[in-house]
Amino acid sequence: MDKVRFGKTGLMVSKVAFGGIPIQRLSLDEAAEVVRGVIGLGVNFIDTANGYTDSEEKIGAAIKGMQRDSLVIASKSGARDKKTFLEHLDLSLRRLGTDYVDLYQHHGVSTEAHYDALFEEGGVYEGMMESVRAGKIRFPAISSHSVPLALRIIREGKFAALQLPINYVDDEAAKEAIPLAKEHDVGFIAMKPFGGGLLNNAKLSIRYLMQFDNVVPDPGIEKLSEMEEIVRIVESGGAFTEADAAEIDKAKQELGPRWCHRCDYCQPCPQGIGISMALTVESFFKRMPFSRVEMMANERMEAAKGCTGCRACVSRCPYDLDIPELLKEKIGIWETYRAQNTKA
């Protein structure tokens, strides 16, 4: 697979990355086989996170003995303090079996308050910069779910790379964030290129993203056949067409307006409900093992039952979603899923 320059990092990466969330569901040997197979297809960009249970460990087993500088490895920490951040980084390095990571991301920074807290004296960003100077991190990076915050992140220039959701349905980042990242030469990783499992048209999903020459899609992969299909699409070189655009319009109409874009403009909820998490809980079913989904979702879905119907969230939602009604639907879907998997 052809390589592309990844922003100001200068790293040469495959046109598509490997996302390490779904291999949590595989055994160590199965996961290692998938990762090695993906690398054999020419994919050299591997993205995971400290919080993805044993994903780092499985990737470490797969790449053991490989030429380290032939790979670009990215991971993440959701730490909120310097001490924990440094512990996460050292754990990531041990699990991955490497002395350094090419990119290490502050994970899921989606509010102004969270972003500002990174730069407090003795804070998390300080730990990241110390680790860069020590050679444990080559380039500082960050992931977010907020396009408005991403614009600030890019302009302030503290990070060499950014990971943000972008796909042919959830396309807000295409308007300003992608062009701005190109202008500032910030590496751009496309999170959720398949909408967290919402979109199943691989050709349309990948061709949509390939039209942005500074964007590297990062699909979560569980089966080698999935990446084989994606690589075929990338290497076919087919341009995004008017027919593709028409198909996207049709897909959006079929999906309808009743889906959460994870923008979190609806927050804060007076009852403390994590609304976007509750409304997108099904995407976790498709990417993670039940034990992990239950750990992440059970408490939050229980909290969602506390919705009073005050509709403060509805007044803030730019997509006019009837959030209280959607919460009821998603709670029902969650209860069914949990019951089925508990019996199993």
d(Cα 329, Cα 310) in Å, to the nearest integer? 17
Instruction: Determine the pLDDT at residue 230.
Output: 97
Q: Is the peptide bond between 268 and the residue preceding it cis, with omega within 30 degrees of 0?
A: yes
Specify the 3-state DSSP secondary structure of 204: helix
Instruction: Determine the pLDDT at residue 106.
Output: 97
d(Cα 31, Cα 10) in Å, to the nearest integer? 29
Q: Quick one: tokens of 248?
A: 């996207």
DSSP secondary structure, 244-271, as one string: HHHHHHHHHHHH-S-S-----TTPPPTT
d(Cα 27, Cα 18) in Å, to the nearest integer? 18
Task: Count Cα atoms within 13 angstroms, Cβ side, for 188.
Answer: 28
Q: Residue 263: which of 200, 333, 127, 171 has the closest Cα? A: 171
Could you tell me which residues come within 8 angstroms of residue 200 by beta carbon, excluding any fewer than 6 positions away? Answer: 194
Q: Which strand ranges, in their side-by-side order, compose the sheet holding 72-77?
A: 18-19, 45-47, 72-77, 101-106, 137-143, 161-165, 187-191, 215-217
Instruction: Determine the pLDDT at residue 285.
Output: 81
d(Cα 299, Cα 329) in Å, to the nearest integer? 17
Mean pLDDT by 10 residues, the chain (344 residues): 96 97 94 98 97 95 97 97 98 98 95 95 97 98 94 98 94 96 98 84 94 96 96 91 92 78 80 91 81 87 95 86 94 92 75
Instruction: Determine the pLDDT at residue 295.
Output: 87
DSSP secondary structure, 136-149, as one string: SEEEEEEE-S-HHH
Q: Is the pTM of this model over 0.85?
A: no
Give Cα separations from 163 to 100, 218, 227, 260, 307 (angstroms). 20, 9, 20, 19, 31
d(Cα 222, Cα 93) in Å, to the nearest integer? 23
Give Cα separations from 194 to 77, 104, 201 (angstroms). 23, 23, 8
d(Cα 118, Cα 309) in Å, to the nearest integer? 34
d(Cα 279, Cα 314) in Å, to the nearest integer? 13
d(Cα 192, Cα 200) in Å, to the nearest integer? 12
d(Cα 328, Cα 258) in Å, to the nearest integer? 13
Instruction: Determine the pLDDT at residue 344.
Output: 54
d(Cα 49, Cα 250) in Å, to the nearest integer? 35
Give Cα separations from 84 to 62, 128, 312 (angstroms). 27, 11, 35
Specify the 3-state DSSP secondary structure of 317: coil
Pairing of strands 215-217, 101-106: unpaired
